[in-house]
Amino acid sequence: MSILRIRCSPRGLDSESYRLSQRIVERLLQARPAGGLDVVEVDATALAHADSDYASALAAPADPGADVLGRGSLKASDDMIRMLEDASHIVIATPMHNFTVPSALKAWLDHVVRVRNTFHITPQGKVGLLADRPVYVAIASGGAFRGDDARQPDFLTPYLRHVLATIGLTQVTFLAVEGTARGPEWLAQARREAALALDRIPFAAAVPEMTA
């Protein structure tokens, strides 16, 4: 069993989203003291975007041969999907950029949301192929996007909830540090609120054994 963490901030380990994700990871590790969990790290900012072979594969009725699959972004896609399949928990550390996901997270999603691999198409629509498991999303935002203080729209959380459900991941929990650009007092309060929200999550109950 493992925790797959996808880091999406250009600020790396100094980012608020990483700091919040680390608290989530620590809680998950505490919830499984007997069996233990490995932590697998993916720096999404280092991922290349989809190339022409990948685009051709998505448009084709079947995946290409091994010679094409073993190169470029198709190989990266296979690697990312394998990590996702092996993980019992997923933690996404991401900023909110221009009201939605940053390009690094979109690149990772484009690698793992792949027809015939993580979903298939039916007459009723797309159906996910992955076994469901908990996903925790740690968000950092320069402004507020929830509650009475919200001054900007939120296209990140509904999009992520929908796109992850497309591949079979529906147990999505969002935590956020909002208003990071509003000054130290606001940031301190946002961190306290995120910590309180974290304390309300029943991590022990949300750590099932993988069945698929």
User: In this predicted structure, what is the pLDDT of residue 211?
Assistant: 45
Q: Which amino acid is at 33?
A: P
Q: Regarding predicted confidence, which is higher, 150 or 26?
A: 26
pTM for the model stands at 0.92
Note the CATH number of domain 2-199.
3.40.50.360
Assign 82 to helix, strand or coil: helix
User: In this predicted structure, what is the pLDDT of residue 114?
Assistant: 95
Residue 33 has pLDDT above 90, yes or no: no
If pLDDT is split at 50, 70 and 90, which confidence band does 35 have?
A: low
Tokens 């380990």 locate to: 13
Residue 168 has pLDDT above 80, yes or no: yes
Out of 19-33, 53-67, 132-146, pick the least confident.
53-67
The order of strands in the sheet holding 38-43 is 38-43, 2-7, 89-95, 134-141, 171-178
If pLDDT is split at 50, 70 and 90, which confidence band does 191 have?
A: very high
For the chain, domain boundaries:
2-199
Assign 10 to helix, strand or coil: coil
